[in-house]
Amino acid sequence: MDHLVKVKEALQKGILPQDIYDTITERFELVTAGVARIEKASSTTYPIYYVEPSAILTSGSDMSFQYGILFARTLPVFFEEKFQVVIQISAPLVAFGLKGTIHAILAHEFLHYIELIRKISKMELLSDEISSNLFENTYADSTRLFEPRAVFSDQTLLTHITKKFPTGFKDYKLEDKTEKLWIARQLPATNIALDANTVKLSAEMLSKVSLDPILLQKIKEYEEKESKLRKKKLY
């Protein structure tokens, strides 16, 4: 698929200015290099991904002024009775993120992807609730993912993940650039309430999901490695 199709459509419709479009297309090679790196480090194919030509903003349901910026999301999708997981990458990440940051976020979303597949394979995912409080959501986000060391063999990539996600993602320079060079210019923004950003799949929908046996075998290997890492930490 064309990973930049929505970005091209946004330019044609006059929603994105030429300079931002040029920046995204020039720097997109950082994304493709990151995906290739993750595939090599995990021995697993990266899911479908595309660049969303907007900043993705989140806010709580309490009508406060508290909000956050999401630079990527892992989305389960049913299309024509077929189940797919799609990684949505925000345009500001591609336009302004450093190489290490982009690769760390792509790797983090990959961890979401395999955890989502793991839960579906065990019929655990009827509702993956996300708190409406940004701090609570950050905490929950970091507690339900695979241990990165059980998945990735790339030590530099692991270092990037550890630095960017100590207790939830934080990159002040990227957030500042997104504020000043995207949001302040009134470029496209998508507002999502955190309590609406929820994965809900019925038992009937789950029963129709067909999963790749090779991927399930890899996830089993990750689980076994993670178990060994936990035992090593305990003893």
pLDDT on residue 18: 97
pLDDT on residue 23: 98
pLDDT on residue 63: 45
Of all helices (H) and strands (E), which one includes residue 57? strand 55-59
At 220, list the tokens: 């089993």
Cβ 106 vs Cβ 38: under 8 Å? yes
Instruction: Name the domain count of the chain.
Output: 1
Cβ 15 vs Cβ 53: under 8 Å? yes
What's the rounded Cα separation, in Å, for the pair 27 and 218? 31
Range of the domain at 25: 5-234
pLDDT on residue 66: 57
pLDDT on residue 103: 96
171 phi-psi bin (left φ>0, alpha ψ -120 to 50, beta other): beta
End-to-end CA distance of the chain: 47
Ordered per-residue pLDDT tens for the chain, 235 residues: 799 999 999 999 999 999 999 999 999 999 999 999 999 999 999 999 999 999 999 875 554 445 688 899 988 887 766 788 899 999 999 999 999 999 999 999 999 999 989 988 887 655 454 444 544 455 455 556 889 999 999 999 999 888 877 656 778 899 999 999 999 999 999 988 765 555 666 667 766 778 899 999 999 999 999 999 888 765 5
Q: Read off the DSSP letter of residue 127.
A: E
